[in-house]
């Protein structure tokens, strides 16, 4: 297994590749989803390139994404880190689905963990996130349930997703939180106010999802790009033709820095994230080897203090248009 840059996922977390791989779109989301055999081969190619951190969830599919990841990564059991998630209510017909509501009751967490172990083909879940905070279940109960799973040897690390600073602290007081996963990118920086400082104080790793702004920061999307009705971007305010056109200044900035450093806009966007904290591990999603190789190349891009200052100064002057949802 070749080596790329490695990072520790916070003070308590495992050492993983500096860039992980978000697996959701391999079997869930916008059409067409990936062919199963091709996605197995793709995941194995990622390992061969040095990726050791993979992100999935029971709701992706549902269930099929965990099964895909489990099958593809079975030859490297114990050598890679797989994160999965619990937290959505199980509809009697279609299983867990975001529209079915939340369910983080302790008994549900235990059921999800047992099922995920089988689908992932592992003895213990490396990192078990609460997918979204459930206001009907005190976070202390959630943390306690995961703590019991850790004590039973079924889970190694506890994570939260899209939790605010106060919730992180409450959970951490019961069971130390290893990692927080939330959206974070050059054009969505809300977590910088309270969440990142809380993670730094408590020694919690941070895993940005949508680190490339759902593809916008690659520079491959313009006002003429169309999206299938199954694609979340078809309903996303940041992906209307007007917003895409208005936000082109962000791409121009990334292109200018990239031209200077011999890198693509996507690589600059990812390198910027890596430069924010040494315990940040982005998980860009991909289904193409060319994109995977491009993303992994970001780990070798070094942004100087002047580069970072230029990016921050210019971004402060660009009024990004459109809400994220």
Give me the domain span that covers residue 19.
6-316
Q: Is residue 324 in some structural domain?
A: no
Distance of alpha carbon 12 from alpha carbon 207, whole angstroms = 14
The residue from 60, 184, 209, 216 that is catalytic is: 60
Contacts of 100 (CB under 8 A, 6+ apart): 88, 89, 90, 91, 94
Q: Is residue 80 in some structural domain?
A: yes
Q: What is the dihedral of CA 109, 111, 112, 113, to 10 degrees?
A: 80
Number of domains in the chain: 1
Q: Is residue 193 in some structural domain?
A: yes
Q: How many CB atoms are closer than 10 A to CB 141?
A: 15
Residue 290 pLDDT greater than 80, yes or no:
yes
Q: Is residue 1 in some structural domain?
A: no
Residue with tokens 């083909």: 121
Q: Is residue 322 in some structural domain?
A: no
Q: Identify whether the C-beta of residue 282 lies closer than 8 Å to the C-beta of residue 19.
A: yes
Please state whether the peptide bond connecting residue 62 to the residue before it is cis, i.e. omega within 30 degrees of 0.
yes
Q: How many CB atoms are closer than 10 A to CB 272?
A: 24
Q: Identify whether the C-beta of residue 25 lies closer than 8 Å to the C-beta of residue 212.
A: no
Q: Identify whether the C-beta of residue 219 lies closer than 8 Å to the C-beta of residue 254.
A: yes
What is the reported pTM?
0.97
pLDDT tens-digit series, residues 79-137: 999 999 999 999 888 889 888 999 999 999 999 999 999 999 999 999 999 999 999 99
Task: Mark whether 60 is an active-site residue.
Answer: yes
Distance of alpha carbon 10 from alpha carbon 194, whole angstroms = 17
Weakest mean pLDDT among 166-180, 259-273, 311-325: 311-325
Q: Is residue 84 in some structural domain?
A: yes
Could you tell me the pLDDT band of residue 32, with boundaries at 50, 70 and 90?
confident
Q: Is 225 helix (H, G, I), strand (E, B) or coil?
A: coil
Q: Is residue 323 in some structural domain?
A: no
Q: How many CB atoms are closer than 10 A to CB 19?
A: 27
CATH of the domain at 44: 3.20.20.100
Q: Is residue 321 in some structural domain?
A: no
- Predicted pLDDT at 1: 53
- Predicted pLDDT at 228: 86
Distance of alpha carbon 163 from alpha carbon 191, whole angstroms = 10
């Amino acid at each position: 297994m070749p080596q790329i840059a490695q990072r520790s996922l916070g003070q308590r977390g495992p050492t993983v590749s500096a860039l992980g791989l978000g697996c959701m779109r391999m079997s869930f989301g916008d059409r067409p989803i990936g062919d199963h055999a091709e996605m197995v081969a793709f995941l194995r190619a990622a390992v061969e390139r040095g990726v050791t951190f993979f992100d999935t969830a029971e709701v992706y599919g549902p269930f099929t994404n965990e099964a895909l990841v489990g099958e593809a990564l079975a030859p490297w059991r114990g050598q890679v880190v797989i994160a999965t998630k619990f937290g959505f209510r199980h509809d009697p017909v279609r299983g867990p689905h975001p529209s079915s509501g939340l369910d983080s009751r302790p008994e549900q967490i235990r059921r999800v963990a047992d099922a995920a172990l089988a689908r992932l083909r592992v003895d213990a879940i490396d990192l078990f996130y609460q997918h979204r905070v459930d206001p009907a279940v005190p976070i202390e109960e959630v943390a306690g349930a995961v703590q019991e799973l850790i004590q039973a040897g079924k889970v190694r690390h506890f994570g939260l997703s899209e939790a605010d600073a106060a919730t992180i602290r409450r959970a951490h007081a019961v069971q130390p939180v290893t990692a927080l996963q939330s959206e974070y990118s050059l054009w969505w920086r809300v977590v910088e106010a309270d969440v990142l400082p809380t993670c730094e104080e408590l020694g919690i790793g941070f895993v940005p999802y949508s680190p490339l702004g759902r593809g916008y920061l690659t520079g491959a999307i313009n006002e003429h790009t169309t999206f299938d009705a199954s694609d979340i971007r078809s309903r996303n305010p940041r992906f209307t033709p007007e917003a895409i056109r208005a936000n082109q200044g962000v791409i121009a900035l990334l292109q200018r820095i990239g031209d200077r450093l011999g890198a693509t806009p996507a690589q600059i966007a990812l390198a910027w994230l890596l430069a924010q904290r040494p315990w940040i591990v982005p998980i860009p999603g991909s289904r193409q080897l060319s994109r995977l190789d491009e993303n992994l190349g970001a780990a070798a891009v070094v942004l100087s203090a002047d580069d970072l200052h230029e990016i921050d100064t210019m971004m402060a002057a660009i009024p990004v248009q459109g809400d994220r949802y």
